[in-house]
């Protein structure tokens, strides 16, 4: 069973959207939203994989299948 999520899904989506649309560095967005920068960096990478922008990473669906 996976560990409980520390951050709500809405905050994750908002933070990723902010990084992708604003062009601001991950560390700045994370600081503004009170999120650890490495957590946000991972979310952004996963979102990029899910969109097909990162073929080197597994998508969320592929991870769930494994």
In tens, the pLDDT along 13-60 reads: 999 999 999 999 999 999 999 999 999 999 999 999 989 888 888 888
Assess if residue 27 is contained within a domain. yes
Assess if residue 2 is contained within a domain. no
Please check whether residue 57 is in contact with residue 43, taking contact to mean a CB–CB distance below 8 angstroms: no
Of 19, 64, 14, the residue nearest 41 (C-alpha): 19
Assess if residue 23 is contained within a domain. yes
Please check whether residue 61 is in contact with residue 55, taking contact to mean a CB–CB distance below 8 angstroms: no
Confidence at residue 1, expressed as pLDDT on a 0 to 100 scale = 63
Confidence at residue 2, expressed as pLDDT on a 0 to 100 scale = 66
Q: Write the CATH number for 31.
A: 1.10.10
Assess if residue 16 is contained within a domain. yes
Alpha-carbon distance of 12 to 16, in angstroms, equals: 6
Confidence at residue 20, expressed as pLDDT on a 0 to 100 scale = 95
Domain extent for 13 = 9-65
- The structure tokens listed for 4 are 């409980």
Q: Residue 30: exposed, middle, or buried by beta-carbon count in 10 A (0-12, 13-18, 19+)?
A: buried
How many domains does the chain contain in total?
A: 1
Assess if residue 43 is contained within a domain. yes
Q: Is the pLDDT of residue 66 over 90?
A: no
Confidence at residue 24, expressed as pLDDT on a 0 to 100 scale = 95
* pLDDT, average across residues 4-13: 90
């Amino acid at each position: 069973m996976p560990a409980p999520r520390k951050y709500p899904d809405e905050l994750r989506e908002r933070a990723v959207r902010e990084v992708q649309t604003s062009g601001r560095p991950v560390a700045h967005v994370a600081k503004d939203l009170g999120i650890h920068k490495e957590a946000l960096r991972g979310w952004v990478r996963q979102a990029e994989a899910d969109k097909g922008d990162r073929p080197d990473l597994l998508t969320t669906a592929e991870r769930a299948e494994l």
